[in-house]
């Protein structure tokens, strides 16, 4: 068989680069979708506990998911909104308690 007539059979870069790009794109989209869901799932409990930690994490994850082109755009935007709400709750509690967020003992 003449491999010059069939470049795909010869394993040329043109034949092998397309599946890698498609696989990389699908994996990137899947990762972005996971980040969108994670931002929502971290922002939600952040309304009640660990606001100062979970809020910024939810914001960062949602922004990364949106920049990578997630298909779950609504969930990423909701995670962003919840992260911002987490930080606003911390701010409101800090102002209401005159700078003391937690009390020990």
pLDDT digits (tens, 9 = 90+) for 14-62: 544 455 557 666 776 788 888 899 999 999 999 888 888 999 999 999 9
Percent of the chain with pLDDT over 90: 34
> Do the beta carbons of residue 87 and residue 58 sit within 8 Å?
no
Rounded to whole angstroms, the Cα distance separating 26 from 49 reads 34
Q: What are the residues whose beta carbons fall under 8 Å from the beta carbon of 72, sequence distance 6 or more?
A: 33, 36, 37, 65
User: Is residue 89 over pLDDT 70?
Assistant: yes
Whole-number Å distance between alpha carbons of 83 and 50:
11
* H helices present in 1-105, as ranges: 7-10, 13-43, 51-67, 73-96
For residue 87, count other CB atoms closer than 10 A to its CB: 17
Task: Mean pLDDT check: name the lowest of 30-39, 42-51, 69-78, 91-100.
Answer: 91-100
């Amino acid at each position: 068989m003449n491999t010059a007539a069939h470049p795909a059979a010869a394993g040329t870069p043109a034949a092998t680069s397309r599946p890698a790009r498609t696989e990389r794109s699908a994996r990137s989209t899947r990762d972005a979708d996971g980040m969108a869901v994670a931002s929502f799932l971290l922002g939600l409990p952040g309304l009640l506990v660990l606001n100062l930690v979970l809020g910024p994490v939810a914001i960062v994850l949602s922004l990364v998911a949106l920049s990578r082109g997630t298909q779950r755009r609504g969930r990423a935007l909701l995670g962003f909104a919840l992260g911002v709400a987490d930080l606003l709750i911390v701010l409101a509690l800090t102002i209401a308690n005159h700078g003391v967020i937690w009390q020990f003992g």
